[in-house]
Amino acid sequence: MDIIQENTNEVEIFNVKGSLDSNTSSEFEAKIYTALESGQRKLIINLEELEYISSAGLRVMLKTTKDLKRMDGNIVLCSLQDYVREVFDIAGFDGYMNIEKNLEEAMIKI
């Protein structure tokens, strides 16, 4: 898994590439919580190049969403491949999380 992190207009964007599973989710979670600890409250997770997500990856997304809601922050996921989107739909996360078609729409929703 590769994570390219950038900050644009006070929004922290995480571009995730590869697999987000039990072997990589702790690294991803650490990067997210480093941003939160530094005061960041607006996150976009760009999953355009995500090839696979397991329950461990879903747990990080759900935990981050819950924590940001308590902090009056916001998280938007974007650019999910159809097979990754299906995992979110089956898990029921599509109704709980803000998921947008692309990065441009995510920037508007954040």
Question: Which of the 8 DSSP states describes residue 62?
Answer: H
Q: What is the chain's pLDDT, residue by residue, as a tens digit (110 residues)?
A: 899 999 988 999 999 999 999 999 999 999 999 999 999 999 999 999 999 999 999 999 999 999 999 999 999 999 999 999 999 999 988 888 999 999 999 999 99
Q: Are 98 and 109 in contact (CB under 8 A)?
A: yes
Note if the pTM is more than 0.85: yes
For tokens 């409250």, name the residue. 41
Paired residues of 38 in beta bridges: none
User: What is the model's pLDDT at position 23?
Assistant: 96
- Residue 30 DSSP SS3: helix
Q: Domains in the chain, start-ordered, CATH in brackets?
A: 2-109 (3.30.750.24)
Contacts for 3-8: CB closer than 8 Å, 24+ residues apart? 3/27, 3/28, 3/31, 5/31, 5/35, 7/40, 8/107
User: What is the model's pLDDT at position 57?
Assistant: 95
User: What is the model's pLDDT at position 96?
Assistant: 85
